[in-house]
């Protein structure tokens, strides 16, 4: 199992959390997504490491940005 963490900027409410969760959940290989609204934390769990670019693209598709790493 692999876990990666990111910081998402621009989220302000529960709908934001739902949008990010829905988009990132669709990335191939992702088995769980946990989003913390207060910190902007995004934890992605998968069977094998997931391409960071795919996660960033999913967050952007939801209308938000991943803070620089």
Overall residue count recorded for the chain in this entry: 69
pLDDT of residue 69 exceeding 90, the answer is no
Give the separation between CA 59 and CA 9, rounded to whole angstroms: 10
Beta-bridged to residue 25, according to DSSP, are none
Beta-bridged to residue 50, according to DSSP, are none
The whole-number pLDDT of residue 35 equals 98
The whole-number pLDDT of residue 68 equals 74
The whole-number pLDDT of residue 41 equals 98
SS3 6: strand
**pLDDT single digits (tens) 9-56:** 999 999 999 999 999 999 999 999 999 999 999 999 999 999 999 999
Burial of 64 (0-12, 13-18, 19+ CB in 10 A): buried
Give the separation between CA 55 and CA 36, rounded to whole angstroms: 16
């Amino acid at each position: 199992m692999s876990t990666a963490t990111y910081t998402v900027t621009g989220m302000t409410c529960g709908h934001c959390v739902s949008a990010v969760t829905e988009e990132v959940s669709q990335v191939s290989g992702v088995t769980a997504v946990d989003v913390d609204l207060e910190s902007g934390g995004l934890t992605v769990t998968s069977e094998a490491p997931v391409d960071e670019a795919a996660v960033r693209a999913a967050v952007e598709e939801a209308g938000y940005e991943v803070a620089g790493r």
